[in-house]
Amino acid sequence: MIEIKGVYKEFKGKSNNVEALKNINMHIEQGDIFGIIGLSGAGKSTLVRCINRLEEPTKGEVFIKGKNIMALNSAELREMRKKIGMIFQHFNLLNSRTVAENIAYPMEIAKVPKEDREKRIDELLKLVELEEKRESYPSQLSGGQKQRVGIARALANHPDVLLCDEATSALDPKTTQSILKLLKKINETLGLTIVIITHEMEVIKQICTKVAVMEAGEVVESGPVPKVFAHPTHPITKSFVQNISHDIPVELLNRIDHNRQLFRLSFEGIKTSQPILSRMIKKYGVEANILLGGIDHLQQTFIGSLIIELIGEEGEIKKAVAFLQESDVECEVISQ
Amino acid sequence: MIFQNPTQAFWLLLAETGNTLYMVFAATLISTIIGMPLGVILVITDKGGIKEKLQLNRILGTVVNIGRSFPFAILIVALIPFTRLIIGTSLGTTATIVPLSIAAAPFVARVIESSLKEVDKGIVEAAVAMGSSTWEIITKVLIPEAMASIILGITLTVVNLIGYSAMAGTVGGGGLGSVAIQYGYYRYDVSLIIATVILLIILVQIIQWIGNNIAKAVNKK
Ligand SMILES: Nc1ncnc2c1ncn2[C@@H]1O[C@H](COP(=O)(O)OP(=O)(O)OP(=O)(O)O)[C@@H](O)[C@H]1O
Ligand SMILES: [Mg+2]
């Protein structure tokens, strides 16, 4: 669906140049809800803006439905953009137009006849549940309602893909939930491919099927969300994952003897229902003291995380840890 | 008193008020027709604009600045040959429209420029992302979004032009300015000077009031 190949982007500054993207390769499939997460300045916005060429990559290629968009002239580019919906953190609605007129805008420029526009507006307002706001102006709407209008507007020309740049970052948690639900519904009912940029792991956890983690212009880790969640390898990914999974309170840590060994275990899916831990205890004769634990419900799968203390002979503990790792349980020593 | 009765003075003032309005509105229309495209070009060719062309932007900016720094009194005189060429005379109300329009055009260009620059960059970017052409962005996004501010700017132009037209009146331009100079100054009729000043003040107030109200009605922010 979307293929990003060796994309570089350099911003030329007066004194120094910023390498915002360094050799990005990405494959987004039809029907994916693809999340891109990273800290501020990681290059997320620059990357999605390369997908519709709001930003021109310095090097590299972007294919959408097999078409190399870098090869398009400006008229072809405009036509292609009509098939790529985009929503923004600050909504960017036309203040001088009503809700209906805002949704009409992309259809006007695509030369859709008036009757068809009106029909489509009704359909979209129903989809985003804003029928009663048809004639309101953006200034009369809440943030969540504005983003719904933004979504309706982005869908007006039946796009192939929807790009979302921090679409929920200006909204409160409850409104964020409702917008994420709406995006999920659109993905499921229309089969629309969605690319979501965010710095909140919650958003990824809630609706994304795949995730790419960015740091300093590079994708440091990517894959299906449950896998990345259960086995984060890069420190930045770990910090995102730990932010939402269960962390040990500092008071608890302080009370633990420094000679004891603490481990963070994380595991995904079916293993949460298998008694791996008790098997390990029986097999190696070590004792496990569970300090903290929980299971995260992540769309269709579960991610479990446990913080345990292992007590026993040094050699046996090593073997026990190896056993856990063989059983696909991520096992990490927590240094105090 | 030059006039037999106040009625006669009343009709004179009424007629010249009409002349002033005629000059001012014609000049506003023409200067907007010239200044609007200039203002739009100044915005879209500026750094980060939708059709960035810095060289053109700099040249146009300089031309507009030169136009704006020309003192109006000198402009009227300098334009006499040009005015004769297109109107046939350099005297009277219709002839005055020429220097008025040319004096106001660079002002309008800057007014439009600053109004359009107030439009949120994100809104323009959204329009670009939806596949809008430059023309569509100008006509469907920039101008409608800036409309309230443009109307206030045009109102300001009208008010300035009332001042300029009074100045033009003193050198054969017609309108309320010529009443003040011909009857008030040359024939020492202070009451007519006072009357023209009061009329000018009332005109400015009314125009500003109308401008403010239209701008308010148009503003959906
Ligand atoms: N137009 C520009 N000119 C110069 N540098 C830029 C420009 N746009 C972005 N950058 C730089 O590129 C880098 C990546 O920026 P980008 O906006 O893509 O980050 P981001 O991951 O979206 O961050 P945030 O979460 O804050 O939105 C930053 O260092 C930024 O300063
Ligand atoms: Mg960003």
Secondary structure of A203-233 in HEC code, one letter for each residue? HHHHHCCEEEEEECCEEEEEEEHHHHHHCCC
Q: Tokens 């109307």 correspond to what residue? A: B151
- Give the list of residues 6+ apart from residue B142 with CB closer than 8 angstroms, or none: B40, B43, B116, B119, B124
Query: Do residues A329 and A231 make contact, with C-beta atoms less than 8 angstroms apart?
Result: no
Higher pLDDT, residue A281 or A2: A2
Round to whole Å and give the CA distance between B21 and B18: 5
Q: Whose CA is nearest to atom 17 of ligand 1?
A: A45
Domains of chain A and CATH, by start? 2-226 (3.40.50.300), 245-334 (3.30.70.260)
Asked if B130's CB is within 8 angstroms of A94's CB, the reply is no
**Per-residue confidence at A299, pLDDT binned at 50, 70, 90?**
low
Round to whole Å and give the CA distance between B148 and A17: 40
Q: Whose CA is nearest to atom 29 of ligand 1?
A: A41
Which ranges of B70-218 does DSSP label H, i.e. alpha helix?
A: 72-78, 80-87, 93-117, 121-129, 134-136, 143-168, 176-179, 190-218
Q: Residue B185: what pLDDT?
A: 76
Q: Which of A2-11, A115-124, A170-179, A250-259 has the weakest average pLDDT?
A: A250-259
Q: B145 in a domain, yes or no? A: yes
Q: Which chain A residues are Cβ-neighbours of B130 within 8 angstroms?
A: 81-82, 86, 105-106, 109, 153
Cite the beta strand spans of chain A per DSSP E.
Answer: 2-11, 18-28, 33-38, 59-64, 67-68, 84-88, 161-165, 193-198, 210-215, 218-224, 261-268, 287-298, 301-311, 330-333
**Vertex A202: Cα angle to A228 and A144 (nearest 5):** 140
Round to whole Å and give the CA distance between A43 and A37: 10
pTM: 0.84
Q: Does A246 touch chain B (CB under 8 A)?
A: no
Q: Does A84 touch chain B (CB under 8 A)?
A: yes
Size of interface A-B (CB pairs under 8 A): 64
Q: How many domains does chain B have?
A: 1
CA of B120: which chain A residue's CA is closest? A92
The beta-carbon neighbor of A109 closest among B120, B122, B136 is B136
HSE-CB of A66 using CA atoms within 13 angstroms: 0
Instruction: Indicate which ligand has the atom closest to the C-alpha of A55.
Output: 1
State pLDDT tens for residues A11-22: 988 888 889 999
HSE-CB of A18 using CA atoms within 13 angstroms: 10
**Per-residue confidence at A149, pLDDT binned at 50, 70, 90?**
very high
Round to whole Å and give the CA distance between B150 and B154: 6
Q: Residue A336: what pLDDT?
A: 44
- Give the list of residues 6+ apart from residue B106 with CB closer than 8 angstroms, or none: B35, B38, B63, B64, B65, B67, B68
- Does ligand 1 have an atom closer than 6 angstroms to the CB of A18? yes
Give the range with max mean pLDDT: A31-35, A248-252, A284-288, A300-304: A31-35
Q: B1 in a domain, yes or no? A: no
CA A20 to centroid of ligand 1, rounded, Å? 7
Report how far apart, in Å, the C-alpha atoms of A183 and of each of A26, A161, A176, A188 are: 22, 12, 11, 9
Q: B129 in a domain, yes or no? A: yes
Name the 3-class secondary structure at B209: helix
- Quote the tokens at residue B28: 């506003």
Q: Does A320 touch chain B (CB under 8 A)?
A: no
- A141-145 long-range contacts, CB within 8 A, separation 24+: A141/A99, A142/A175, A143/A91, A143/A170, A143/A171, A143/A172, A143/A175, A144/A171, A144/A175, A144/A178, A144/A179
- Which CATH number does the domain housing residue B167 bear? 1.10.3720.10
Report, as an integer, the average pLDDT of A301-314. 78
| Residue A269 DSSP one-character state | G
The beta-carbon neighbor of B131 closest among A78, A97, A138 is A78
Report, as an integer, the average pLDDT of A197-220. 91
CA A75 to centroid of ligand 2, rounded, Å? 27
Higher pLDDT, residue A147 or B5: A147
Neighbouring-strand partners of residue A266: A305, A330
Round to whole Å and give the CA distance between B146 and A130: 27
Q: How far is A51 from chain B (nearest CA, A)?
A: 10
Q: Residue B101: what pLDDT?
A: 95
Question: For chain A, what percent of residues have pLDDT higher than 70?
Answer: 91
- Which of A49, A64, A95, A112 would you mutate first to test chain B, the one with the most B CBs within 10 A? A95
**DSSP string computed for B77-96:** HHTHHHHHHHHS-SSSHHHH
CA of A51: which chain B residue's CA is closest? B129
Round to whole Å and give the CA distance between A243 and A170: 20
**Per-residue confidence at A166, pLDDT binned at 50, 70, 90?**
very high
Closest CA to B24 of B215, B203, B213, B210: B203
> With the C-alpha atoms ordered B27, B29, B32, B34, is the resulting torsion angle positive or negative?
negative
Q: Residue A257: what pLDDT?
A: 66
State pLDDT tens for residues A226-283: 888 777 888 888 888 776 545 566 666 666 666 677 787 877 766 555 677 888 888 8
Asked if A90's CB is within 8 angstroms of B122's CB, the reply is yes
HSE-CB of A14 using CA atoms within 13 angstroms: 0
The beta-carbon neighbor of A139 closest among B130, B136, B220 is B220
The beta-carbon neighbor of A94 closest among B131, B136, B145 is B145
Closest CA to A293 of A243, A246, A256: A246
| Residue A247 DSSP one-character state | P
Q: Which chain B residues are Cβ-neighbours of A101 within 8 angstroms?
A: none
Closest CA to A147 of A165, A120, A123: A165
CB contact residues (below 8 A), chain B span 137-156, against chain A? 140-141, 144-145, 147
Stretches in chain B below the pLDDT threshold 50: none
Asked if B132's CB is within 8 angstroms of A109's CB, the reply is yes
Q: Which domain holds residue B132?
A: 6-218
Round to whole Å and give the CA distance between A217 and A165: 16
ipTM: 0.88
Round to whole Å and give the CA distance between A121 and A128: 11
**DSSP string computed for B16-58:** HHHHHHHHHHHHHHHHHHHHHHHHHHHHHTSTTSTT--HHHHH
Higher pLDDT, residue A119 or B181: A119
- DSSP H or E segment with residue A319: helix A314-326
Asked if A95's CB is within 8 angstroms of B221's CB, the reply is yes
Q: How far is A207 from chain B (nearest CA, A)?
A: 24
- Does ligand 1 have an atom closer than 6 angstroms to the CB of A46? yes
Round to whole Å and give the CA distance between A146 and B87: 54
